[in-house]
Structure 1
Amino acid sequence: MHIDLSGKTALVTGSTAGIGFAIAKGLAASGAEVIINGRGQARVDEAVAKLKQLVPAAKVRGVAGDVAQIEGGNAIITALPEVDILVNNAGIFEPKDFFDIPDEDWSRFFEVNVMSGVRMARAYMQGMLKRNWGRIIFISSESAVNIPTEMIHYGMTKTAQLAVSRGLAKLTRGTGVTVNAVLPGPTMSEGVETFVKDLARQNGQSEQEAASSFVKQHRPASLLQRFASVDEIANMVVYAVSKEASATNGAALRAEGGILDTIA
């Protein structure tokens, strides 16, 4: 299968690093014009330059703006009135005991992980429906179904993303627009790499041993038995936004290594 996204414009929020950057790279390599997004202009410019090095033929530009803030979201929408593909990737996580999570943290996580995607979808989906083609992806998590006791507030936001994506998909009935969610499992992004290095140092292990031990201890149901790479997650997203994925709509697409012990 050859995925060709030539002529399509894609916005990936929170894409200066990690899964978001890998998605942007995959979309650019498939011919889409990609818009990198991050909170600060300097990091956006660095990511754009890096992507151009990795994919020399890439059509890529950057738009700075904090999607967790109304003003930041509006700045992005003003600079980019229309897109064909929207990947709501921006998000935060933080392990914290339930009894230590203040109201402010619950609100902050909801604003960043849920409302950012709501605002972007509200801005771009109507145009997609009018043009009768579009793709919206919410980057959720296996934590949406397998709520982690060490960060219940994070799990709550990931479940909310599934509700929003499924509800929006119902608004696309009979059109060429689709809305789906992707559920990554433990993924070796930059932040996780730092965490694993610290873990290895603390326990006197190699980084590979530390990563393997973490998965076995904290995600024992994993069939993959390792962290996924950011590119493995990106591959799922690139397919889901393609013309070839036109019959996939309203789905929660798993890329979590078999952690979820359910058939459907």
Structure 2
Amino acid sequence: MDLDLTDKTALVTGSTRGIGLATAIGLAQMGAEVIVNGREQAAVGEAIAKVQQAAPSAKVHAAAFDLGNAAGCAALVAQFPEVDILVNNLGIYEPKGFFEIEDSDWSRMFEVNVMSGVRLTRHYLKRMLDDKDWGRVVFVSSESGVFIPKEMVHYGFSKSAQLVIARGAAETTKGTNVTVNSVMPGPTWVEMAPVRLAARAKAAGTTVDDLVSRTFSERRPASLLQRYAAPEEIANLICYVCSKASSATNGAALRADGGIVTNPF
């Protein structure tokens, strides 16, 4: 199995922590030159140090841009006009009841989660097809894209949109060595999980431990894993899809959701 990414350059958006950071580390360990992205220079620097600690020989670049708007995306592609691998990992989410979701909430979710990937894929995928005839684009979607969470419908909508966009973009790659796929994580224990759960627990008058236990007994009872995944477990699949070994996988939505989605197809 060829997992060597020597001489390949990878951009991972939103890669200062969580699944994005784990993916950046994994790709660096596979030999790729990695571009780490985040909004703040300090956070990007800290993430680069972690990547270099895990992969001492890796070449790592800083890309401190806010990709939640057109200007940030344009600035990034101006600095890094070509990559071989694009991982559209950037995303936000916000638990909010349907009737409380304002127009601005919908717009922000769409701009960050959907349009960042559209803008970057539009640029980099065309370069992959025109100049290199090899490339990988991966959208980090979510099981929420097919199992819409009632507590954040706007997030589920954005993740559904990513699945459609990825499949549509894949149609442009027919007969080439370029692929576009989606990976669909389930509940994942990222760095901000304790903070978010603490806020929700306080609002609900309960404890973080109670919320964690109820995640799989009430919110996601179909889970076969019955626990939060580690970011590295999701990154393993993303990194494989970025590799040469995944050459026959194109236009696919690959699940790493722990079995929450019961439909086998």
The reply on whether 1:181 has 2:168 as its aligned counterpart is no
Query: What do residues 123-157 of structure 1 show as CA deviations (whole Å, max 9, x unaligned)?
Result: 11111012110000000000000000000000000
Percent identical among aligned pairs is: 56
User: Is the counterpart of residue 121 in structure 1 residue 114 in structure 2?
Assistant: no
Instruction: Give the deviation of 1:60 after TM superposition.
Output: 1.0
Partner of 2:251: 250
Q: Structure 2: any 5+ residue segments left out of the alignment? A: none
* Farther off after superposition, 224-233 or 214-223: 214-223
In structure 2, what residue type is equivalent to 1:229?
A: A
Report the secondary structure of 1:171's partner residue.
helix
TM-score (norm 2): 0.94
Give the deviation of 1:68 after TM superposition: 1.1
Distance 1:203 1:106 in 2: 29
Residue in structure 1 matched with residue 96 of structure 2 by the alignment: 96
Alignment partner, residue 7 of structure 1 = 7
Task: Assess, with a 3 A threshold, how the Cα gap between structure 1 residues 113 and 198 changes in structure 2: closer, same or farther.
Answer: closer
Q: Aligned-pair distance for 1:199?
A: 6.9
The 10-residue stretch of structure 1 (216-225 or 49-58) with the greater mean CA deviation from structure 2: 49-58
Tell me how far apart the structure 2 counterparts of residues 59 and 220 of structure 1 sit (CA, whole Å): 42
Native 8 Å contact 2:2 2:245 kept in 1: no
Q: Is residue 187–residue 227 contact of structure 1 (8 Å, CA) maintained in 2?
A: yes
* Alpha-carbon contact 1:212-1:225 (below 8 Å) kept: no
Q: Where does structure 1 lack aligned partners over 5 or more consecutive residues?
A: none
Give the counterpart letter for 2:118 in structure 1.
V
Deviation, structure 1 residue 57: 2.0
Q: Tell me which residue corresponds to 1:105.
A: 105
User: Contact 1:141 / 1:182 at 8 angstroms: preserved in 2?
Assistant: yes
- Cα separation, 2, equivalents of 1:212 and 1:10: 37
Could you tell me whether the CA contact under 8 Å between 2:186 and 2:260 is conserved in 1? yes
> 2:173 aligns to what SS in structure 1?
coil
Residues of 2 paired with 1:147 and 1:195: CA distance? 19
Q: Structure 1's 246 and 40: CA in aligned 2 closer, same or farther, altered over 3 A?
A: same
Distance 1:77 1:56 in 2: 26
Counterpart contact for 2:147–2:261, Cα < 8 Å:
yes
What is the alpha-carbon distance in structure 2 between the residues aligned to residue 8 and residue 181 of structure 1?
20
Match of 1:215 in 2: 216
Q: CA deviation at 1:55?
A: 2.1
Residue 24 of structure 1 contacts residue 36 of structure 1 at CA under 8 Å; is this kept in 2? yes
Conservation of the 8 A alpha-carbon contact between 2:2 and 2:243: no
The Cα RMSD (Å) is: 1.6
Distance in 2 (CA, whole Å) between partners of 1:142 and 1:50 is 28
Return the alpha-carbon distance in structure 2 between the equivalents of residues 175 and 55 of structure 1.
Answer: 31
Question: Aligned partners of 2:206 and 2:69: how far apart in 1?
Answer: 39
Cα offsets for 1:47-75 (capped at 9, x unmatched): 11122122222221111111111111111
In structure 2, distance between residues paired with 1:118 and 1:233 = 22
Q: Whole-Å Cα distance in 2 between the matches of residues 6 and 47 of structure 1?
A: 21
1:215 and 1:199, CA in 2 relative to 1: closer, same or farther beyond 3 A?
farther
Contact 1:98-1:150 at 8 Å conserved across structures: yes
2 CA distance for matches of 1:69 and 1:161?
Answer: 17
Contact 2:186–2:229 (Cα < 8 Å) also in 1: yes
